[in-house]
Amino acid sequence: MKETLISPSLLGGNPLNIEKDIEMINRSKADWLHVDIMDGVFVPNITIGFPVLQQLAKVCRKPLDVHLMIVNPEKWVHFLADAGTMMMNVHYEACTHLNRVVQEIHDNGMKAAVTLNPSTPVSMLEDIICDVDMVLLMSVNPGFGGQKFIKGTYEKLGRLRKLIADRGSNALVEIDGGVNGETAPELVAHGADVLVSGSYVFKASDPLQKIAELKSLKP
């Protein structure tokens, strides 16, 4: 049976004590650590920068799932590779030459993921779906944690799974935004492979238990 992968989002953690949060993730059943990098231009928020990513990579024992919500993400491919990034997520909406960016990510030894904003249809991926390792569907508008889940994501997830099957792609599907105890089982049932969860995990009284509960979900 397919295993559900869990990628807790550091955006939901305590910015004054990142190392403590990472130590918790290291002890948990999480598969990856999801790191959001925002520039205040592509999205209306600013989070950690690349020097912080470089430092947290030294203490995190989980593969890094780095989500770039920035303009011109192709400028940072080499830096993310040097920092030990496993998966580099770029937004479809931020890449004029997406195929070139995906190729460059692969050439630098990382896995490549493309992210879609809630209003971007999955049909935009028809010519790239066989080249990427993962598609990330935003189930909230990107920029801030703790937002309400967009219910149309379930139907969109179904369309994406059909596209992947029709094209013979091996791409994983990751969901980010509003993933909690209510939405997570439905998302897994609809075909999600990877769940990103921030506030639901880090604001819990027992984050390790929340991660374990998400990890136990089966389609």
| Interatomic CA distance for residues 92 and 64, integer angstroms | 20
Q: Which of 21, 31, 65, 176 is catalytic?
A: 176
Do 35 and 7 form a contact (C-beta atoms < 8 A)?
no
Residue carrying structure tokens 């990330």: 136
**In what side-by-side order are the strands of the sheet with 64-69?**
5-8, 194-197, 172-176, 134-138, 111-116, 87-91, 64-69, 33-38
Q: Is 21 a catalytic residue?
A: no
Q: Which of 36, 65, 133, 193 is catalytic?
A: 36
Residue 138 forms beta bridges with which residues? 176
Q: Is 176 a catalytic residue?
A: yes
Residues of the chain by 3-state class (helix, strand, coil), percent to 5 = 40, 20, 40
- Give the tokens for residue 195: 């769940």
Residue 38 forms beta bridges with which residues? 69
Active site residues: 36, 176
